[in-house]
Amino acid sequence: MLARWGVPGLGHVDLRRRSEKYLGENNVHLLGEETINDNNRRFFEACRTLGYRVEQFPVNVKGCQGSGLCNLGCPNAAKQGTHRVQLPAAEAAGVEVVTNCKVERIGERDCLATVTNPPFGEPSHWPEGRYRIRARAIVVAAGAVNSPALLLRSQLPARLPALGRYFTAHPALILVGEHDRPISNFYGHPKSYYCDHFVESAKFLLETCMYFPFTTAKNLIGFGAEHARLMSRMDRMQMILVLAVDPALAENRIAVDAAGDPVVHYRFTDEVMDALIESQRVAARIFFAAGCTRVHAPAGTGFFIGANEADRLEELITREAFKLGKVSISSAHLMGGCRMGTDPATSVTDAWGQVHGVPWLFVADASLFPMCSEINPYVTIMALADRVAERVRTRLPGLPAA
């Protein structure tokens, strides 16, 4: 991936060292075989049967109870995200975290922010109101949509034509196969395996997943009795998440509207559409190899494809049936918009996250990605943020020891 990114000064050895630090801190490890449910195990075995490369996901959990509700926020506080590991450590070291505080604009070594206290979330310990906060350095980490938007709203003393551009999204589909009897799927960790066999040849990844009723219903094509019948047997569902490895294009970008709110401009290329179609055929082969009797494909010419039709997937899953606006395509991971590089004409920051021409301003999140990652980006984001932290400390030698 780093070779593809081609950012001078951003090397594999350095990124790996920093990644390993966070893999340790956040307790990233492989789950034991006894916690793998049928939804995951059958995916793994089917990929092996078909000769597809398949690997187990290391996950950042401690004391996982297998609620399967990870995407809603772990109800058992087992997920070891930055909110449970790095942020508490930073607070213990003297960092002040201000909740419900929205930064509106960055000025010359300061920012304008508004604190509100809505009736949800952690109440802010700062009184409601507007603030001007002065700082020796400012690090923006608001994500691939809001970091570029914040910089676009700000009066920066530099010309940054690439700001907001080269946004990528890992366009995603949730695919469903149906077994003729219940399997274990919503009990246990939902995401244990991935298949990157097709990343180079067809530009997509497959991952195990298990979603909630509304999310599942929305991702099925159709409505009425047929749709309801499939939904009424969630305990028979096997699910696969597709992530398309989308190209970084200048025209796919974040802009801001007249009110300063972010607006995403994203066009699906033919390459991405082809990847999403082919991924459905591959996923169908996996479902059938895993024992599913029927498969639902958003690009299917009918609601179901039966196991007896498994040799006709090319004609039953077609581009013609796959229409934008009809199919639920979500974004799994938002990346880019403040991409790293050396040329201010085509990038926003240098290889250490410093905004070109603004020595006190840094970016430390997924918006730094020059292109999308070829796998889930969490650890890479943390490793990049670690580099930014090191550079800020170099620039500001008076900071207290870490």
Which residue stretches of 255-319 are H helix? Answer: 270-289, 313-316
101 scored as a contact of another protein (CB under 8 A): no
Q: Is 324 helix (H, G, I), strand (E, B) or coil?
A: strand
| CB of residue 332 to another protein, shortest distance in Å | 16
34 contacts another protein (rule: CB under 8 A) = yes
What's the rounded Cα separation, in Å, for the pair 332 and 279? 15
Contacts of 374 (CB under 8 A, 6+ apart): 1, 196, 199, 205, 245
Which residue of 27, 56, 65, 346 would you call a contact of another protein, by CB under 8 A?
65
CB of 86 to another protein, least distance (A): 25
- With vertex at residue 253, the alpha carbon angle to CA 247 and CA 256, rounded to the nearest 5 degrees, is 165
Q: Is 148 an interacting residue with respect to another protein (CB under 8 A)? A: no
- Does 83 contact another protein by CB under 8 A? no
Query: Could you say whether residue 307 binds another protein (CB under 8 A)?
Result: no
Contact between 262 and another protein by CB under 8 A: the answer reads: yes
Q: Which tokens belong to 31? A: 């789950």
Stretch that binds another protein, among 52-60, 164-172, 191-199, 206-214 (CB under 8 A): 206-214
Smallest distance, Å, CB 278 to another protein? 22
Taken in order 386, 387, 392, 398, the sign of the CA dihedral is: positive
| Contact between 328 and another protein per CB under 8 A | yes
CA distance 203 to 118: 42
Distance CA 54, CA 32 (A): 17
Contact 147, 120 (CB under 8 A): no
Task: Give me the residue label for tokens 């995603």.
Answer: 172
Q: Which residue of 231, 249, 273, 310 would you call a contact of another protein, by CB under 8 A?
A: 231
Pairing state of beta strands 138-140 and 171-178? unpaired
Task: Select the span of 60-68, 83-91, 302-310, 394-402 touching another protein (CB under 8 A).
Answer: 60-68
Q: How far is the CB of 263 from another protein (least distance, A)?
A: 6
User: H or E element: which one contains 389?
Assistant: helix 378-395
Contact pick of 12, 53, 73, 76 for another protein (by CB under 8 A): 76
Instruction: Choose, by CB under 8 A, the member of 164, 188, 337, 370 that binds another protein.
Output: 188
Q: Where on the chain is the footprint of another protein (CB under 8 A)?
A: 34-35, 37, 64-69, 75-76, 182, 184, 186-188, 212-214, 216-218, 221-225, 227-228, 231-236, 257, 259, 261-264, 323-326, 328
